Amino acid sequence: MTSLIAKNTDCVVHCSRLAEYRSPFGAQKTGGYVDLYIDASVSVDEIVLCYAYGLYGLSYNELRCKKIESVPNRYACRLRMPAEPGLLFYWFCLRGKHSDIEAIVDPQYHELLYRKHEEDRAYLYYVASWEGDDGKGKFAFSAPKVGVDEEKYPHAFQITVYEEGFTTPDWMKGAVMYQIFPDRFARGGDYSFEKMESTGKDRPERIFHEDWYEDVDIDGKPETGYLACDFYGGTLKGIAEKADYLKSLNVDVLYMNPICEARSNHRYDTADYLNVDPILGGKDGYKCFSSIMKENGIRYIVDGVFSHTGADSRYFNKYGRYEAPGAYSAFVEGKNSDYSSWYAFRRDENGNVVYDSWWGFPELPNTKEDDLSYRDYILGPDGVVASWIRGGASGVRLDVSDELPDSFLREMRSCVKKASSGDGLVLGEVWEEVTTKISYGSYRDFAYGRTHDTVMGYPFREALLSFLRGDTSARTWSLTMEKYRENLPDQMFYCMMNLISSHDVPRAITMLVGPPDPGSREEQKKIHLTKHMKSRGAALMKMAFALQMVYPGCPCTYYGDEIGMDGFRDPFNRRTYPWERECEWQKDLLSSFRSLSELRRKYEVLRCGEVEMILADGDDLIFGRTLNEEGKDHFGKACAGPKKVLCIMNRSDKMKMLVRLDESSNVVSTEHIPDIFTGDGETKCVLSSEQQGRVEVRPLSAIVYVQV
């Protein structure tokens, strides 16, 4: 922190989120200009802007800042952004006589200064502080490390440079999203156990649950062990028949886990990219589903798994299940296969067949994404992706997209846009901060307008759950989210998939109030939430929904979270939706979810309005969404309805929060009064005309305050 090394922490100031110091704000288009300012009320010979830019390699450069005579102690420089998308890191170096630089730093740290004795010059660096309000920086004794293989400390300020003309689908910006694991959501009206069972005639490893409410399998069959091959008979028709339910949740777009033919229930081991799994209803069931979704105005995106296929697939065909030879038999038996070049085979020193597989799982052989015949099959004009888009899908979610080559991803984007006349979505599975994601020895081309439209918001999930659990403060949440807002292109920021659960992580309510993960599936299965856990968990889930629905991006709900379904990791986060068995507390939670999700339909400001952090301290969090004076949102679209909505959150379970507002819904003051959480969170929406400028927020509750 600045205070550890400097006598006066404000003698040098640059705040990357304030227009006074950096303009324009945030990520920038290629070729644009950014003005940078820094105030220095100390004696120095010069202040130098140091910067490094690029993507697959970084170029280091320096630019001397000029003193602004009209503003005391201010230095400035203008920087033209690179012509190619990538990252631009910058920091400042103060250079002056030893005595001048020493005057800035506490004496005990003088020996750490970088010195040029032959020139009587010393250097002091001004770098980014991820704990700085408004992006305020701090001092450091060495320059930031920004290379791929470097420690990344001290931190540099960042400008994300994205492709000019980068746009994302307007229908996705601010949309309400709902994720479904197809086998576990709903059976269709034409379901029969015999019909489901008949789909497994040639798949002896499969287990079929006749009882929809039976718990998930964790053992598999004795002869195979656990293979994630137990099925409940959820179908695409079953999803379609729940269209009214989805509409009651105000869902705009569905994201479905894979529906292509596969051996497992999760279907990330694709067997046939061009065939809908028969147990889901096959192609006829898909056509029915697609038609009904269109009639109800609900878009959907499909899950594309392209870094690997299943070993039990028509392409690899390790077990001879498919008639035509696959790549495995072609290698082992010397047969011809159209898919031979898709995989990498060899024999080990003992003559055994060895092939590359996803994370070492032999049932998931890796594909060679650079193979042109594979690319044509997946991305060609008549390929897999174009076929799904033309068949009704509004986009593709890319499984493990950080394991796909950037060139493949760029071609994927081109394919989706061409097949959809520019309106299709490319959503990537990236778990880390997307602008600085590193894999395979390089920063990745994920957030610069050439590959993804958006990615799954796992950092959003982690920040939100950590705050609601009490692990971190409201300020930590605010600083984290402001960092992402600063670094993400606005086209991506407003359609980020802001999830709190998914098929790959424990359910949100379990993360919020459940016990620690015991590790083994056997132990996980024994754990159930207590009455107290459910009560507290429901209150926290309501708060999570409120924050999701008010914060920019696309709030995504994993099926069943709206009623507080619990469970640890796979397979317990993939249980069946308990239709007609919802408890009273679950019905209450569902009612709250419906009310909160409806806000996205009622108030356009919540789609693409600006966001403003107002108060973030301890248990208190207040942020707002606003339109400008002309009633326009961030993208200049005129919006109907109120110009301002606040989200006021009280995480404390021991204090009531009183917030006083003026006529313009600005926060005047906050007050805390002892009040114990009694088991019921009171998260709700209120209108300004009802409150007379005073909002009371009970423990573990949130208020969405609308200025009318």
Residue 693 has pLDDT above 90, yes or no: no
CA separation for the pair 403, 359 (Å, rounded): 11
Determine which one of 183, 303, 429, 453 is catalytic. Answer: 429
Quickly state the pLDDT bin for 13 (edges 50, 70, 90): very high
Identical fold between 2-162 and 604-706: yes
CA separation for the pair 74, 41 (Å, rounded): 8
Task: Report pLDDT for 2.
Answer: 40
pTM (2 decimals)? 0.96
Take residue 517 and report the two structure tokens written for it. Answer: 């993960």
Residue 488 has pLDDT above 80, yes or no: yes
Query: Mind listing the pLDDT tens digit for each residue in 522-546?
Result: 999 999 999 999 999 999 999 999 9
Residue 109 has pLDDT above 90, yes or no: no
Take residue 243 and report the two structure tokens written for it. Answer: 């269209």
Average pLDDT over residues 630-643: 97
Query: Mind listing the pLDDT tens digit for each residue in 53-87?
Result: 999 999 999 999 999 988 999 999 999 999 999 99
E strands of 12-156, at which residues?
A: 12-13, 22-23, 28-29, 33-40, 46-54, 58-64, 66-68, 74-80, 86-96, 114-116, 121-127, 138-140
Mean pLDDT taken over the chain:
95
Task: Report pLDDT for 4.
Answer: 53
Q: Which are the contacts of 423, defined by CB distance < 8 A and separation ≥ 6?
A: 169, 171, 394
**Amino acid letter for position 217:** D
Residue 239, number of CB atoms within 10 A of its CB: 28
Task: Report pLDDT for 7.
Answer: 59
Residue located via tokens 């690899």: 316
Task: Report pLDDT for 510.
Answer: 98
Query: Mind listing the pLDDT tens digit for each residue in 415-428?
Result: 999 999 999 999 99
Average pLDDT over residues 205-215: 97
Residues above pLDDT 70, as percent of the chain: 99
Pairing assessment for the beta strands 157-162 and 207-208 based on DSSP bridges: unpaired
Quickly state the pLDDT bin for 1 (edges 50, 70, 90): very low
Do residues 686 and 701 touch, judged by C-beta distance below 8 A? Answer: no
**622 — phi, psi (to 5°)?**
-135, 125
CA separation for the pair 235, 221 (Å, rounded): 24
CATH number of this structure's domain 2-162: 2.60.40.10
- The full set of domain ranges for the chain reads 2-162, 308-368, 604-706
Pairing assessment for the beta strands 554-558 and 610-617 based on DSSP bridges: unpaired
DSSP string, 686-704: EEHHHHTTEEEE-TTEEEE
Average pLDDT over residues 312-335: 94
Residue 115 has pLDDT above 90, yes or no: no
Catalytic: 429?
yes
DSSP string, 465-504: HHHHHTSS-HHHHHHHHHHHHHHS-HHHHTT-EEES--TT
Task: Report pLDDT for 497.
Answer: 98
**113 — phi, psi (to 5°)?**
-70, 145
> How buried is residue 638: exposed, middle or buried, by Cβ count under 10 Å (0-12/13-18/19+)?
exposed
CA separation, residue 176 to residues 304, 585, 599 (Å): 21, 23, 10
Determine which one of 399, 482, 566, 653 is catalytic. Answer: 399
Take residue 617 and report the two structure tokens written for it. Answer: 């301290």
Q: For the chain, how long is the longest CA-to-CA vector?
A: 88
CA separation for the pair 402, 25 (Å, rounded): 28
Average pLDDT over residues 203-221: 96
> How buried is residue 336: exposed, middle or buried, by Cβ count under 10 Å (0-12/13-18/19+)?
exposed
Quickly state the pLDDT bin for 3 (edges 50, 70, 90): very low
Secondary structure letter of residue 215 according to DSSP: P
Quickly state the pLDDT bin for 112 (edges 50, 70, 90): confident
Q: Which are the contacts of 54, defined by CB distance < 8 A and separation ≥ 6?
A: 82, 86, 87
Average pLDDT over residues 459-478: 97
Take residue 107 and report the two structure tokens written for it. Answer: 């004496």
Residue 685 has pLDDT above 60, yes or no: yes
Task: Report pLDDT for 8.
Answer: 66
Residue 126, number of CB atoms within 10 A of its CB: 23
Residue 5 has pLDDT above 70, yes or no: no
Average pLDDT over residues 209-221: 97
> How buried is residue 61: exposed, middle or buried, by Cβ count under 10 Å (0-12/13-18/19+)?
exposed
Query: Mind listing the pLDDT tens digit for each residue in 387-401?
Result: 999 999 999 999 999
May I ask the CATH class of domain 604-706? mainly beta
Task: Report pLDDT for 35.
Answer: 98
Average pLDDT over residues 299-312: 98
Q: Which are the contacts of 603, defined by CB distance < 8 A and separation ≥ 6?
A: 641, 642, 645, 706
Task: Report pLDDT for 399.
Answer: 98
Q: Which of 1-15, 37-51, 465-479, 655-669 has the lowest mean pLDDT?
A: 1-15
Query: Mind listing the pLDDT tens digit for each residue in 259-304?
Result: 999 999 999 999 999 999 999 999 999 999 999 999 999 999 999 9
Residue 642 has pLDDT above 60, yes or no: yes
